[in-house]
A and B are shown apart, each in its own frame.
Chain A
Amino acid sequence: MAYLYVVESADMVFLKNQTELTWGNLSSHISKLEEAGYVNVEKRFKGKKPQTLLHLSEKGRNAFTEYRKKLTQVLGKISQRKI
C-alpha cells in the first residue's frame, strides 16, 4: 500500500522488485486489496506482452491515510507513557 501511495501507478514487476515478495504472495495481497476496493487493477498489453497496472483507489488512499494517523496516535501514546 505504501509503495502505491507514493506513486501514481505501478505494474506488478515494479511492485515485486520493490517489495521483494514472491509472485504468488504479491498476487494474493493485490487480490485482497482489490476485493476491499483499495486498489484498481488494469490489465493491458504492452506490445505483445501482458501488463498488470495498479493504482490506489480514492477509498484506498483515504484508508491508508487514516491507518497512518491511527498508527501515529498509538505510537505517540506509547512514547508519552515511556517519558
Chain B
Amino acid sequence: MVDIDKEVLDLKSIEKKVYRSFFEDGFWDIFIGMLLLGFGLGWTRIIFDIMEPLYILIISIIWTTITFLIYYLGKKFITLPRIGTVKFGQKRKARQKKLKIFLLINVLFGCIVFILTFFGLLEFLALAGSLTPLLIGLISYTFPFTIVAYFLDFNRLYIYALMGGFTFFISDIIYSILGSPLDSIIGFGVPGGIIVVVGLIFFIKFLRKYPKPKKD
C-alpha cells in the first residue's frame, strides 16, 4: 500500500518546517541562556550589602522577569510582525496542552522541593563528593528541559538541557579548584553565554531572512 504522506507532497515535513520556522528567531536560545546565566549571579552580592538568601531571591526575581520580558516582547514585536501569524492543527495543540500540564506539575514539584530543602528535610539525600550537584542538575534542569524539547519539537534544546544539567556539577568542581566567585562565573557564565551567543546569531540571521513586510 502507498503511504500518501510520504510519496506525494510530504505534508509532515512541510508542517514541521513551518512549525520550526518559529525557532529561527533565536529567542528560545537567548531565553535558556539567560536563565542559565541567572544561576550564576549570586556572586554579585559582593557589590551590595544584603544578606545572602534575600539577595539571591531578589536577583533571581529581577533576572527571571527581564528574561521573560525579552522573550515575550521579542516574540510579540519582532518575530510575529516579520514571520506572520499561523494557527497550527489539533496535534500541535494537544502537544502544547500536554506541555502546559507537565510544566505545571514541574513547578509544583519544584515548590515542594524548595520548601523541603528550606526546612532541611532533604539533607538525608546528600551524596558524597560532586554527585549531589550532578543529580540536582540532571533532575532540575536536564530532565524538564528534555521533556520541553520533546513537546516543542525543538532539537537544539536537547543539547542545552544537557549543557545546563552539567553546569551544577562543573561549577562544584571549579569551586574546589578556584573557589568563589569564579565557580559561578565560569560554571554558569560560559555555557549560558555560549547559548545566548548562539541565540543572537540565529536572531541576526532571522532579521536578515525576514525583513519587516511593507504590506499585508
Contact = CB atoms under 8 A, between A and B. Distances in A.
Interface of A: 2-3, 5-18, 23, 46, 49-53, 68-69, 71-72, 75-76
Contacts of A53: 85
B85 A7 contact: no
A10 to B, nearest CB: 4
B73 interface: no
Contacts of A11: 84-86, 216
A6 B15 contact: yes
Interface in B198-212: 210
Nearest to B10: A2
A8 B84 contact: no
Given A13-B84, A75-B7, A8 B216 contact: no
Interface of A is mostly: helix
Contacts of B82: 13, 17
B161 interface: no
B9 interface: yes
27 contacts: A2-B9, A2-B14, A5-B11, A6-B15, A7-B88, A8-B88, A9-B86, A10-B85, A10-B86, A12-B84, A12-B216, A13-B82, A13-B85, A13-B216, A17-B82, A17-B83, A18-B17, A18-B21, A51-B216, A52-B216, A53-B85, A68-B9, A71-B9, A72-B2, A72-B7, A75-B7, A76-B7
A76 B89 CA distance: 29
Nearest to B81: A13
Contact of B11 (A6, A10, A46): A6
Contact of A10 (B9, B14, B84): B84
Contacts of B14: 2-3, 6
Interface in B1-47: 2, 4, 7-9, 11, 14-15, 17-18, 21
A12 B84 CA distance: 7
Contacts of A50: 216
Nearest to A46: B85
Nearest to A43: B216
Given A3-B18, A6-B15, A6-B18, A14 B87 contact: no
Nearest to A49: B216
A6 B83 contact: no
A9 B8 CA distance: 22
A72 B87 contact: no
Contacts of B216: 11-13, 49-52
A19 B82 CA distance: 14
Q: Which of A9, A18, A50, A76 has the most CB of B within 10 A?
A: A18
Contact of A6 (B2, B21, B89): B89
Given A11-B216, A12-B84, A75 B11 contact: no
A71 B8 contact: yes
